[in-house]
Amino acid sequence: MASCTTVLFDADLLRLICEELRADVKANGIPRDASGKKIHPLLALSLLCPFTSDTALRELWRDIQGFNPFLYILPKHKIDDLWHPAITIPDSTWHRLNDYAAHVRTFTCGPKSRERYATSFYIRLAEHLHGGENLFPALQRLRMDPTFAIDPAAYLLLYPHPESARLSAVELVLTPDDKAEVVSGAVGAKPFSGLHELCFVSAKKGIFDNVTTPFSSICSASLLPRTLRVLKITTHTIDMDFFHSLSGLRALDTLVIRFSAASTRIDHKEAIPGAFGALQALDLCANVSDAQQVIQCLPQYVLQTFGLVLIAPSPADMKRIFGIHQDLQRRFALTSLSLSYPTFALEKDRQALAIFKPILSMPSLRFMKYDVGTALPLTPTFLTEAEWPMLADLDISTSSYITYLVLPVLIDKCRELQRLKIPLDWPADATLYGDPKFLGWSYHLKTLDMGASPVIHKARVASYLDGIYPRLVELKGGEDCADVKESVLACQRARDQFLRREEEEWLTRLVS
């Protein structure tokens, strides 16, 4: 009983339980009871007792999909396949609706979520609100299509009164059929003038897909809110002129964009005074030429996070790619770096190492991902030049395997490394060079992904890994990885039992 009381009166623990329940429903769907009826666990928890009700309701209604779950509360009747509100709605029902609406933080509204309800429903809701109040007073984020963004229902119900505005983020879901006047009308709408985050996404396409339509053809940069801190355009391409027009967004700190495959040349080759002065994170998809121009346009020491996906690089671009790496190393103190050159292939291994070398001298890095479609023959000698004292997460993907002998070097050069993904090459014979006792070890590394390389001598590899990574929790790889992981964890259990016995014996001798 005491433990139950502890949970009921611990608000943080209750919140974590509710978040886990919501995540489970999102992943596996709403569970059924013994009779086969679907019951949302958060709804059941909200009805359990007064102590859990508010926390469960807050999590249940925090993020809702469409008007359907919300309007289900109100009495209604159907005419011609459309739901209409009842003539008389009790005050108690309105109070209940207000109570649930107060918990909504994120609202997603697609075209299908509006098809089942008649216009009279939205009119009744608007009549219920007074003085331009928002239906969801705590609303912070909207996800919708541009057509609904300029719909009168959105103005009546979702956009807050200017004096009590909380809406800070909008995600517009675009389709190829969206007209320029619709998108421009949505972006230029007065309720969006104070936004901090604006994202253009597609429900069918992921980021950096093969799209060629210029964003400027559907929306001018001058319409973007001047208050934006986060701008993500993942549905259309831009050019250098549009990029420079974004320099007027002086508060912008996060930018995600992609350029067209064709290079665009303009006169601006240096940083524009005062432009992008607050930009801390840039995620970019571009060809080598545009990527170089973008980096050179940014003021020094601004960026902290940088991601680049190169479009169709070739061996002829090697010098420019090396220049990009040099600019990143010299101009910024990056804490996060993600470089992806999936189709990049070089004729000689030393070229791959040459363009990688500037990355070794980035001491402020905490996360690095390097995905290159060519062989990257990293050697222990080459990695001895690395300056990564703060690196916690390293992800290297290449078309070749890298000798396992780099692991002791990474232990020495990356003292804070917690997660490592690298395609390791284990020897076919039973010889593993170096005694783990003399190689050093890392108590920080918890996760190792060693790629799909075959492991012939599993016990020796497991002993080797246990010797240098005594606190390894997760081991991933190819078909042989499961056996290696089992052996590593068995070594840990045996060592822990041995240390525990030694401690007990020492305490016994001390007492006696």
The string over 322-348, giving b where at least 16 C-beta atoms fall within 10 Å of a residue's C-beta and e elsewhere, is bbbbebbbebbebbbbbbbbeebebee
Report if residue 160 sits inside a domain: yes
Q: 21 and 110 share a domain?
A: no
Q: Where a domain ends, among 167, 199, 229?
A: 167
Q: 114 and 142 share a domain?
A: yes
**Cα-flanking dihedrals φ and ψ of residue 457, to 5°?**
-100, 85
Report if residue 174 sits inside a domain: no
Q: 100 and 138 share a domain?
A: yes
Report if residue 110 sits inside a domain: yes
pLDDT at residue 207 in the model: 46
Q: 39 and 67 share a domain?
A: no
Report if residue 105 sits inside a domain: yes
**CA angle, corner 287, sides to 282 and 288, nearest 5?**
90
pLDDT at residue 208 in the model: 42
Q: Where a domain ends, among 167, 188, 214?
A: 167
What does the pLDDT profile of the chain (512 residues) look like in tens digits? 455 555 566 677 777 887 888 888 878 888 887 777 877 787 778 777 776 777 877 888 888 888 877 778 889 888 888 888 898 999 999 988 888 888 889 998 876 667 778 888 888 888 888 656 788 888 899 999 888 888 888 887 888 666 556 789 999 998 888 889 999 999 988 888 889 999 999 877 554 455 667 899 999 999 999 999 999 998 899 999 999 999 989 999 999 999 987 766 655 555 566 689 999 999 999 999 999 999 999 999 999 999 999 988 887 888 999 999 999 999 999 999 999 987 776 666 677 788 899 999 999 999 999 998 777 778 888 999 999 999 999 999 988 899 999 999 999 999 999 999 999 999 887 677 765 555 678 889 999 999 888 888 888 899 899 889 988 989 998 888 889 999 888 888 877 777 677 777 777 777 76
* Cα–Cα dist 137/98, whole Å: 9
Q: Where a domain ends, among 126, 144, 167?
A: 167
Q: 19 and 115 share a domain?
A: no
Q: 147 and 75 share a domain?
A: yes
Residue 297 Ramachandran class (φ > 0 left, ψ -120 to 50 alpha, else beta): alpha
Q: 28 and 102 share a domain?
A: no
Residue appearing with tokens 């009747």: 77
CB 425 within 8 A of CB 453: yes
* Cα–Cα dist 496/494, whole Å: 6
Q: Which amino acid type is present at position 440?
A: G
Q: 21 and 106 share a domain?
A: no
* Cα–Cα dist 277/23, whole Å: 38
Range of the domain at 20: 1-47
Nearest alpha carbon to residue 437 among 479, 408, 403? 408
Q: 27 and 81 share a domain?
A: no
pLDDT at residue 210 in the model: 53
Number of domains in the chain: 2
pLDDT at residue 453 in the model: 82
Report if residue 362 sits inside a domain: no
What's the predicted TM-score (pTM) here? 0.86
For residue 474, the 8-state DSSP code is: E
> Kind of pairing, strands 419-421 and 424-425?
unpaired
pLDDT at residue 9 in the model: 62
Q: 136 and 69 share a domain?
A: yes
Report if residue 91 sits inside a domain: yes
pLDDT at residue 197 in the model: 97
- Segment holding 147, helix H or strand E: helix 146-149
Report if residue 38 sits inside a domain: yes
**Cα-flanking dihedrals φ and ψ of residue 183, to 5°?**
-65, -45
Partners of 476 in beta bridges = 449
Q: Around Cβ 3, how many Cβ atoms within 10 Å?
A: 7
Report if residue 93 sits inside a domain: yes
Q: 92 and 21 share a domain?
A: no
* Cα–Cα dist 31/311, whole Å: 45
Q: 35 and 123 share a domain?
A: no
